[in-house]
Amino acid sequence: MSKKVNIPMSVNEVSASEAFELLDGDTILLDVREESEWEAGHAPMASLIPLAELPDHLDELPRERLIICACRSGGRSLRAAMYLSQNGFDVVNLTGGMMAWFAEDLPFESDSGDATIE
């Protein structure tokens, strides 16, 4: 007899303003874009782990804290959030990604000067 495994087909989502409010606590903002996208511009309180590298970094993420996954527009971060949820993490997806974050005029920076969304 095979064992049934519950795999979430979706995760909760938060808006950019909701995500920013959640970051006042112990919540982590995880940016899963590529390094070139990160270098062009990112939220200063975010941590970068590109989506393709996420499986190799699970042990670096705390399971006891909420993780908000973000990418450019929300697609890659949704995949990341579903993967993290399947692996026992408390996670939500940032609806609209960094494009929504930037549009809300939330903190956004680049080490090279003018922060942009690639």
- Catalytic site positions: 71
Q: Distances from the Cα of 87 to the Cαs of 20, 27, 39, 64, 83, in angstroms? A: 25, 18, 28, 13, 6
How many residues in the chain?
A: 118
The Cα–Cα gap between 70 and 21 comes to 15
Opening angle at CA 98, ends 40 and 18, nearest 5: 145
> Which phi and psi angles does 23 have, rounded to 5°?
-75, -5
Q: Which of 114, 106, 117 is nearest to 23 (CA)?
A: 106
